[in-house]
Amino acid sequence: MPARKMRVEVFDGSGNRYIVTFEGHVTREKAIRLLDIVELLGGIPEEENPEWVNTASKRSKFDMVRRIVEKYFPIMWFTSRDIQSAYEEEFKQPISLSTVSTYLSRMADHGVLAKGGASNRRRYRMMTKTARHALSFVKSNK
């Protein structure tokens, strides 16, 4: 199988141009790492995904868990227990750990979160819009 090539070209707010190229066996993890580097350079503007905008009329537990993830853990890895603690502190209501784990798993299945680690030590992280596009590109080229 021939080597794949992934190239990301971005401009920062000062007009500087960054070109990052990866050539070889492109996997989901490698694509996400590459885009993390680009994001650290300040080349990816964060846009709010309209399908995840919270409205007052939609206050299901799933929406509230999503809101906790976006508000407190936008760029770092977290566990189900982290979300459970933040949820209970923010909304002053209990939520079971199994409910949180189920919702986080669904978000990962839909490409909103990246997940890593063994099932008993599962960690999650928000995926940027660019990382989601790269992931769909990698999946479509399999």
62 with 122, same domain: the answer is yes
pLDDT over 80 at 51, yes or no: no
d(CA 48, CA 129): 9
23 with 78, same domain: the answer is no
This prediction has a pTM of 0.55
Digit-coded pLDDT (tens) for 59-91: 789 989 999 998 898 888 999 999 999 999 999
What is the three-class DSSP state of 92?
coil
For the chain, how many structural domains are there in total? 2
124 with 74, same domain: the answer is yes
Q: How confident is the model at residue 58 (pLDDT cuts 50, 70, 90)?
A: low
23 with 86, same domain: the answer is no
Q: Where are the beta strands (DSSP E) in 79-132?
A: 113-116, 123-126
CATH of the domain at 70: 1.10.10.10
Q: Which amino acid is at 122?
A: R
75 with 120, same domain: the answer is yes
- Determine whether 123 is exposed, middle or buried from the number of CB atoms within 10 Å of its CB (0-12, 13-18, 19+): middle
Q: Say what the pLDDT of residue 136 is.
A: 63
17 with 63, same domain: the answer is no
Q: How confident is the model at residue 1 (pLDDT cuts 50, 70, 90)?
A: low
**CB burial string 87-104: b at 16+ within 10 A, e below:** beeeeeeebeeebbbebb
65 with 122, same domain: the answer is yes
92 with 136, same domain: the answer is no
pLDDT over 50 at 125, yes or no: yes
Digit-coded pLDDT (tens) for 88-109: 999 999 999 999 999 999 998 8
**CB of 67 closer than 8 Å to CB of 58:** no
- Nearest Cα residue to 134 out of 2, 10, 1: 10
Domain that holds residue 113: 50-129
Digit-coded pLDDT (tens) for 5-47: 777 777 666 677 777 788 888 777 777 777 777 666 665 554 4
